[in-house]
Structure 1
Amino acid sequence: MAVNMYYSSESSDSENTAEVSSLDYSYLMLDTHSLAVHLRNSIREQNVQQKSLLATPNSTVTGGESGDSKDGDRDDGDKDGGQDSITQKLLLQHNMLLTVPFEIVKFSHLKMLDLSNNNLTHVNDFILQLPYLQTLYLQNNNLADDGLPKDLSTLSCLRELNLSGNKFLRVPQQLYEMVGLRYLYLGSNLITEVLPEIKAMQSLQVLHLGGNQLETVPDELGELHQLGALILCDNRLRYLPRAISSLTRLRSLLLHKNNLCCLPVGIVKLRGLMELSLRDNPLVTRFVNSCARELMYNPPSLLELAARVIKLKRVAYTSYDLPHTLVTYLSNGQRCVNPKCKGMYFTSCVEHIKFVDFCGMYRLPLMHYLCSSRCSSKTPDYYRATSESESEEDEPPAARLKRVLLG
């Protein structure tokens, strides 16, 4: 299955304005052994060319030394010696590789390696010997949960990793340790869970998790403050965590083909959001009203009622007065979304759908959390995409949602 990269033109750090030396063995249908032979020959030829350039043609002594060295290099090449310190891009996609050839480590200054569209079931540890690697494409292979090296974090220069179109059942644990990674593509796998440890990946700018089997995503996604594009389409999500509204740099949020009946109301506060894709979700179908009727209100427990009184009446207490579990519980209180209500809740609240106008064209159902079934559901002013006192001409372009894709 072919997998397209999102924002791939922006995400390559391996190329600057200067021309980069590349070696292209793509689309040749080579197996691992045949490719290894090609790589060895390439290194041998490059070493010969370098020695030839270093030779001084006007000096007989130097020329003889050069000739001797050249023969020696040929012998070394036949023994798999030599290094390639020039090539920065190695294109090996669309071959028949079952394993990664060891000869790759001889390309000591490699910055971009494309192994996509092969038949790889695992990536050998020796790939960690490429200290300058910035971009690694492994999409559309047969990699499973145990298919990657355990210590990928040693690739400290790696900025882009594409693992889409493989057979991962979960996000590989070692990825959470790659704190310098900016672009991570895990689309079209079989992933059912994203762990809270993802919050350590503070450099992420694009996270592609579309085409998996996710039913939930963790609140910790809201801690990835550099994120500009979050792709969660083609999953099984029924709701999003409210922490998504903390992603103030988010420009694109793709949610199409899920089971969403409503959105966290905080999404409308994402002033940098330019693209929101919602098609093929229940929230844009005629069943949205029935979804709202199914929302239930669970009456608060005695524990919650007592906690509400303590917080609302500002009853003083210290960690010595209460067990640690109760102190933690009290610290998790949430204020009611109604600006005219001073109430709060802990675990029991009223889930209420409020339709909010976007772009003057779309009315989207957003989820409100109220403290009581008797609480008013008036929408605060800042939940509107554009306030009544503001004209579109006065509002900066980046502060307006540009596209809402419903169909």
Structure 2
Amino acid sequence: MEYYTSDSCDSDTREQKTLDLTSQFIDTETFASELRSVVDEKDCAENYEIILLNHNRITSLPETINRFCNLKILDVSNNRLTSLPDILKNCPLTSLIAKHNQLTNESLPKCFSSSKNTIKELNLSGNQMNFFPEQVLELKSLKYLYLGGNQIQKIPKEIRKLSSLQILSLGGNQITEVPESVGRLTSLQALVLSDNYIEQLPASIADLNQLRSLLLHKNRLKTLPTQIIRLKCLTELSLRDNPLVVRFVRDMTLQPPSLLELAGRTIKLHDVPVLPGEVPLTLLRYLGAAQCCVNPKCKGVFFDNRVEHIKFVDFCGKYRIPLLQYLCSSKCIIGSWESREENTNPHPHMMRKVLLG
């Protein structure tokens, strides 16, 4: 076993030390003995800021680890851990890596955050969790979250609480939908949703204005929201192994409009003035929710009643990506505007940057 440290355990120097037990094939008992040696015999546990335990045979962490009062980075990946103790909250951790173990939701600490730690990186990939761990949502300073390779079925709406996230990795789960609240993660630079069962992305994905990498391969996507072309920082977009077709498809669904819808359209179309106090506040909000028809030759609007329209846009001059748009009427899908614009590139900056693989 190797210890990558400085030559002295003088606590006055407070030099950063690493206890490196990587790939030593040690078990829980042996690891506990090593920690006791550092704590009791050498009396310099407070100097260690990094403990590397990856690729061993450890099933649990001993209480002695709590004596490492300056521990910032703990890597226990590729072990046989069946639980993470609550005592970890007494360490000033900034990075906890516990990927590829046997952890379930029930075996996680009840709370990850405390006054002593400010976790910025949490990696629980490759475990046995079947739902998103709620206690993670309390980590306000979290920047990097890896939960891939589990059996998570749902992304909670409360994901918006993690406003400092820069990387969110949820690939290799059983997720079927992405909540609108993901769009609130405006610091996000990488979003990994590959190898799931996602059929549709929310329009709010376009609010991730710092997003550079969006991995969506191995899902059930048939279209992408039109708003995705607003992601000007996007440099990597992976869509392989999705049922994205290569021919022009139209999928129209139209229900008879309500009287409220018809009245609202008429007011908007003819610019009928409506002042506060003349109609209930709920109607004013309704009128403010009007959306414009994407047909440039149509000046119409719609509210709840709309026609789905799938339009293909060329990316990189090679791939044609189906984007989902909405029209106010089925009549708006007929006309020469469609064929003229079919091969037009209205956002050239995107065509140079997006990679499809």
Q: TM-score higher than 0.5 here? A: yes
Three-state SS of the structure 1 residue aligned to 2:317 is coil
CA–CA distance in 2 between the matches of 1:192 and 1:295? 30
- The aligned amino acid for 2:298 is C
Work out whether residues 357 and 384 of structure 1, in 8 Å CA contact, stay in contact via their aligned partners in 2.
Answer: no
Choose from 20, 23, 26 the match for 1:27: 23
How big is the shift at 1:230? Answer: 0.7
CA–CA distance in 2 between the matches of 1:356 and 1:404? 14
CA–CA distance in 2 between the matches of 1:258 and 1:328? 36
Of 113-122 and 214-223, deviating more is 113-122
Task: State whether structure 2 residue 353 is matched by structure 1 residue 402.
Answer: yes
Superposed counterparts of 1:194-205, under 5 Å: 194-205=155-166
Three-state SS of the structure 2 residue aligned to 1:42 is helix
Paired position in structure 2 for 1:92: 53
Q: Show CA shifts across 1:283-316 (max 9, x none).
A: 1x45x55xx3554333333343334345554552
Task: State whether structure 2 residue 45 is matched by structure 1 residue 37.
Answer: no
Identity of aligned residues (%): 45
CA–CA distance in 2 between the matches of 1:332 and 1:169? 38
Paired position in structure 1 for 2:86: 125
CA–CA distance in 1 between the matches of 2:184 and 2:223? 22
Work out whether residues 188 and 212 of structure 1, in 8 Å CA contact, stay in contact via their aligned partners in 2.
Answer: yes
How big is the shift at 1:330? Answer: 4.8
Work out whether residues 177 and 200 of structure 1, in 8 Å CA contact, stay in contact via their aligned partners in 2.
Answer: yes
- What is the alpha-carbon root mean square deviation over aligned residues? 2.7
CA–CA distance in 1 between the matches of 2:155 and 2:177? 8
How big is the shift at 1:200? Answer: 1.5
Choose from 357, 364, 387 the match for 2:321: 364
CA–CA distance in 2 between the matches of 1:190 and 1:319? 52
CA–CA distance in 1 between the matches of 2:182 and 2:323? 19
Work out whether residues 311 and 342 of structure 2, in 8 Å CA contact, stay in contact via their aligned partners in 1.
Answer: no
How big is the shift at 1:117? Answer: 1.5
Relative distance call for 1:130 and 1:302 in structure 2 (3 A) is same
CA–CA distance in 1 between the matches of 2:297 and 2:154? 38
Superposed counterparts of 1:227-246, under 5 Å: 227-246=188-207
Task: State whether structure 2 residue 302 is matched by structure 1 residue 345.
Answer: yes
Work out whether residues 210 and 232 of structure 1, in 8 Å CA contact, stay in contact via their aligned partners in 2.
Answer: yes
CA–CA distance in 2 between the matches of 1:302 and 1:153? 52
Choose from 252, 256, 280 the match for 1:322: 280
Relative distance call for 1:23 and 1:400 in structure 2 (3 A) is farther
How big is the shift at 1:44? Answer: 3.2
Relative distance call for 1:333 and 1:218 in structure 2 (3 A) is farther
Segments of 5+ residues of structure 2 without an aligned counterpart are: 1-14
Relative distance call for 1:243 and 1:383 in structure 2 (3 A) is farther
CA–CA distance in 2 between the matches of 1:204 and 1:358? 28
Three-state SS of the structure 1 residue aligned to 2:165 is coil
Task: State whether structure 2 residue 346 is matched by structure 1 residue 384.
Answer: yes
How many aligned residue pairs are there? Answer: 336
Work out whether residues 312 and 342 of structure 2, in 8 Å CA contact, stay in contact via their aligned partners in 1.
Answer: no
Work out whether residues 157 and 180 of structure 1, in 8 Å CA contact, stay in contact via their aligned partners in 2.
Answer: yes
Work out whether residues 271 and 400 of structure 1, in 8 Å CA contact, stay in contact via their aligned partners in 2.
Answer: no
CA–CA distance in 1 between the matches of 2:171 and 2:316? 26
Task: State whether structure 2 residue 135 is matched by structure 1 residue 139.
Answer: no
- The aligned amino acid for 1:28 is Q
Q: Show CA shifts across 1:345-388 (max 9, x none).
A: 233211111111222222211111112212257559997331xx
How big is the shift at 1:20? Answer: 4.3
Work out whether residues 269 and 382 of structure 1, in 8 Å CA contact, stay in contact via their aligned partners in 2.
Answer: no
CA–CA distance in 2 between the matches of 1:46 and 1:314? 83
Relative distance call for 1:344 and 1:121 in structure 2 (3 A) is farther
CA–CA distance in 1 between the matches of 2:110 and 2:16? 30
Larger-gyration structure (1/2)? 1
Work out whether residues 228 and 250 of structure 1, in 8 Å CA contact, stay in contact via their aligned partners in 2.
Answer: yes
How big is the shift at 1:233? Answer: 0.6
Structure 1 stretches of at least 4 aligned residues deviating more than 6 Å after TM superposition: 380-383
In the superposition, the TM-score normalised over structure 2's length comes to 0.85
Work out whether residues 315 and 351 of structure 2, in 8 Å CA contact, stay in contact via their aligned partners in 1.
Answer: no
- The aligned amino acid for 1:40 is R
Three-state SS of the structure 2 residue aligned to 1:366 is strand
Segments of 5+ residues of structure 1 without an aligned counterpart are: 1-18, 48-82, 387-394
CA–CA distance in 1 between the matches of 2:142 and 2:68? 22
Three-state SS of the structure 2 residue aligned to 1:152 is coil
Q: Show CA shifts across 1:261-302 (max 9, x none).
A: 11111112211111111111111x45x55xx35543333333
In the superposition, the TM-score normalised over structure 1's length comes to 0.75
